[in-house]
Amino acid sequence: MMVGPGMPSRDRGMPSRDRDGLDELEAIAALEGFGVLTERQRALVDEERVRELEHAAGALFTALGRARVREAPEDAQRRLEGLLSTQVAADGQETRGRGSSHLHDTLRGLPQRGASRGDISQRDHSGSLSSEGAAVASSPEVDVAPGTGGLRPAPFLLGWVAAAALLIATVVAYGRVVSLEQRLGEGPADVRLQELVATTPDVEVLPWATDGIGGDVTWSNAKNEGFLRIDGLAVNDPAVAQYQLWIFRGLDPSAEAHPVSGGVFDVDREGQVIVPIDAQLELGRAGMFVVTVEKPGGVMVSDREDIVLVASRV
Amino acid sequence: MRATDRRGDCDDALYMNPRSAQETSLLARVAEGDPSAVKDVLSRYSALVWSLSSSLSKDLHEVEDVVQDIFVDVWRSAARYDPAVASEATFIATIARRRVIDRRRRAGRRVDPEPLEEELAPGADDEGLRQVELDDEALHAREVVAQLSGDRRRVLEMSVVEGLTHREIASDTGIPLGTVKSHIRRGLAEVSEKLKTRRGVMEDGS
């Protein structure tokens, strides 16, 4: 959040309250999300002074916040390095391809809860949605940078693109497709759902908080397993678009840039469908489940522009 | 992470290591999209960010999430870094502070005050646990705080470290709201002035 350009020249001594009742502390608080500055306040705040004070707070945060350091676990460090490397490569491609930042895209917060039933059929695709629909998801595919298909990385990025490809291979779970046909071969989903509920003490049931959609999410943190029951979502044509589940550990999607993919799935008929959740990473604790519409095969990082279902602990 | 020796428990073991020239070039490389900056940034700052974030939760997944967010923010914000305003470590810590406080606030969570338990806990002598290495600016900030009265220091900690609102601090401590704001305002201003003086000295000496 920018505090505002064109600030008046002010005394750089002790902070003082301006004539609109705002001081630098409140501006810092606004930066931290504690409040919102009005346009008038933004115009009056001494941005440079606020930045100085916030940096002073940053230095104090280091000095007082933690007396001791614990190194990041090695696996977390590797994931972080892979994430940043992928982002650098993707950002380079995006910058050259269309002048926008992939980092910005991945940081985009959750848009307003969106489309209800039928919205997927209105997507701008050539295929039509059949009431009979296909029940089998398409082959696995991972999209590192949505919207960058066809772009060539700059030569200096090739090595990092290769590294990113290796990363993708190792974390393909993020965009892995759930084959309903294969899973149904393990036993009817409704039976396995009942078994999970009957045998798992910590199982939780979270209803969809989306108008016109029935059903819920059944999830066990202990088993890292669960099922979606969905009634009312539009039938999709898997050659055109597919649904993808995203699992957030917390309750604030805007603060969680990299939710875990719970797999890609199709809705092949009217009425209730039961979809097993394919969480390939240990979540520890799941806080929110979000279903988006993505291109066939799913994506590694969703732009979160087409959200059709949300279920949350709150 | 730069290898450092274990540094004992006394505060004097905290030390600084000025690296202004290196630091400036490092975030500049990030801003330019230099892929090789990834390893260098993580080598230098991942432990700092991880330790600042680890106060958020005992859940390593949650800590990892916020650490990822912080570093993505660093990448996104690197072009705005101005070495005349803050050291690189302070710049990154400022981003970390925003993220950690934002998460804590959204979760309705307070800082878990158990440093003593952590000191005495099994594994406290692990290699991964050592005295924090403070950069020059953090040390100067610490010197300012050390000179503050008990109330002022506590109020500043509650605001800066724990991220409590002014009203929450007033409610917790019984100190009038205006006094709370005054303590925070003066504390931050003194730290800021000290850091500016230090930067002026460094520029004069360069």
* pLDDT tens column, A250-301: 777 776 777 888 888 989 888 888 899 987 677 778 888 999 998 888 887 7
Q: Is A288 helix (H, G, I), strand (E, B) or coil?
A: strand
Closest-CA residue of chain B to A259: B65
Q: Please report the number of interchain residue pairs, chain A to chain B, with beta-carbon separation below 8 angstroms.
A: 247
Torsion (CA) A289, A290, A296, A301 in degrees, nearest 10 = -90
Report chain B residues whose CB lies below 8 A from the CB of A25: 166, 181, 184-185, 188
For residue B85, is it within any domain?
yes
Please report, for residues A50, B48, B160, B181, B189, the alpha-carbon distance to residue A15 in angstroms, rounded to integers and kept in the order given: 9, 30, 17, 11, 7
Tell which wins on pLDDT, A105 or B60. Answer: B60
Q: Please tell me which of the candidates B35, B75, B101 has its beta carbon nearest to residue A32.
A: B101
pTM beyond 0.80: no
The interface residues of chain A toward chain B in range 285-304, judged by CB-CB distance below 8 A, are 285
The answer to whether A225 touches A196, Cβ cutoff 8 Å, is yes
- State whether B141 and A14 contact (CB < 8 Å): no
Output the domain CATH number for residue A207: 2.60.40
- Domain count along chain A: 3
B141 with B187, same domain: the answer is yes
Average pLDDT over residues A14-25: 46
Place of tokens 């109330």: B151
Instruction: State the greatest distance between any 2 C-alpha atoms of chain A, in Å, as a whole number.
Output: 73
- Indicate the range of A53-57, A92-96, B11-15, B97-101 predicted with least confidence: B11-15
Of A115-129, A204-218, B31-45, B86-100, which range is least confident? Answer: A115-129
Contacts of A91 in chain B (CB under 8 A): 33, 75
Structural domain including B65 reads: 24-108
Same domain membership, residue B28 and residue B102:
yes
CB A25 within 8 A of CB B184: yes
Exposure letters B37-48 (e unless 16+ CB within 10 A, then b): bbeebbebbbbb
Indicate yes or no: CB of A25 within 8 angstroms of CB of B39.
Answer: no
Q: State the pLDDT confidence band at B76, using cuts at 50, 70 and 90.
A: confident
**In terms of domains, do A281 and A302 share one?**
yes
Same domain, B29 and B82: yes
HEC string for chain B: CCCCCCCCCCHHHCCCCCCHHHHHHHHHHHHCCCCCHHHHHHHHHHHHHHHHHCCCCCCHHHHHHHHHHHHHHHHHHHHHCCCCCCCHHHHHHHHHHHHHHHHHHHCCCCCCCCHHHHHHCCCCCCCCEEECCCCHHHHHHHHHHHCCCHHHHHHHHHHHCCCCCHHHHHHHHCCCHHHHHHHHHHHHHHHHHHHHHHHHHHHHHC
Does any CB of chain A come closer than 8 Å to the CB of residue B79? no
Residues A253, A299 within the same domain: yes
Please indicate, yes or no, if residue B122 is contained in any of the structural domains. Answer: no
A129 and A242 together in one domain:
yes
Check whether residue B29 and residue B99 sit in a common domain. Answer: yes
Closest CA to A286 of A232, A235, A223: A223
As a whole number, the mean pLDDT across chain A is: 62
| A215, A291 Cβ separation under 8 angstroms | no
Give the residue from A66, A60, A72, A68 showing the smallest Cα distance to B13: A68
Residue B102 shares a structural domain with residue B31: yes
B123 in a domain, yes or no? Answer: no
Amino acid at B182: S
Tell me the per-residue pLDDT of A167-207, one tens digit each, with 9 for 90 and over: 333 333 333 333 333 333 345 777 788 888 878 888 888 98
Shared domain check, A125 and A3:
no
C-alpha B14/C-alpha B136 separation (Å) is 10
Q: What is the pLDDT of residue B42?
A: 92
Q: Are A12 and A129 in the same domain?
A: no
Contact, A220 vs A279, CB < 8 A?
no
- pLDDT(A62) > 90: no
Any residues with CB less than 8 A from the CB of A269 and at least 6 apart, and which?
A131, A132, A133, A135, A235
Q: What is the mean pLDDT of residues B182-203?
A: 82
A 10 A CB-CB count for A208 gives 24
Specify the CATH number for the domain of residue B143: 1.10.10.10
Check: CB of residue A43 under 8 Å from CB of residue A7. Answer: yes
Provide the residue range defining the domain that includes A98.
Answer: 73-107+146-170
Maximum CA extent, chain B: 51
B194 to each of A49, A52, B145, B190, how far by Cα in Å? 14, 11, 11, 6
ipTM confidence score:
0.77
Close Cβ partners of A158 (under 8 Å, ≥ 6 residues apart):
none
Partners of A14 on chain B (C-beta within 8 Å) are: 185-186, 189
Beta bridge partners of A265: A243
Q: Is A257 on the interface with B (CB under 8 A)?
A: yes
Same domain, A182 and A205: yes
Same domain, A161 and A214: no
SS3 A214: strand
Pair B77, B143 in one domain: no
Among the partner-chain residues A25, A157, A257, the one whose CB lies closest to the CB of B35 is: A157
Task: Using pLDDT thresholds of 50, 70 and 90, give the confidence band for residue A224.
Answer: confident
pLDDT higher than 80, residue B113: no
Residues B32 and B92 in one domain: yes
Condensed to tens digits (0 to 9), the pLDDT of residues A117-149 reads: 333 433 333 222 222 222 222 222 222 222 222
| Closest residue on chain B to A60 (Cα) | B141
Q: Do A118 and A78 belong to one domain?
A: no
Residue B35 with chain A: CB contacts under 8 Å: 85, 88-89, 92, 156-157, 159-160
Report the Cα B62 to chain-centroid distance in Å: 18
Measuring CA to CA, how many Å separate B153 from each of A63, A104, B132, B157, B188? 13, 37, 20, 6, 11
Shared domain for A120 and A227, answered yes or no, is yes
CB contact under 8 A, A255 and B188: no
Closest CA to A257 of A77, A99, A140, A83: A83
Most confidently predicted of A26-35, A145-154, A304-313: A304-313
Structure token pair of residue A48: 């440079």
Give the number of domains in chain B. 2
Which CATH number is B103's domain given? 1.10.1740.10
Same domain, A66 and A157: no
Mind listing the pLDDT tens digit for each residue in B142-152?
Answer: 888 888 888 88
The confidence score (pLDDT) of residue B185 equals 85
Burial class (CB in 10 A: 0-12, 13-18, 19+), B116: exposed
Q: What whole-number distance in Å separates Cα of residue A154 and Cα of residue A71?
A: 34
What pLDDT is attached to residue B8? 33
Residues B147 and B78 in one domain: no
Nearest-angstrom CA–CA distance, B180 and B167: 8
Chain A CB within 8 Å of residue B61 CB: yes
Q: In what order do the strands lie in the sheet with A272-276?
A: A204-207, A214-220, A225-231, A272-276
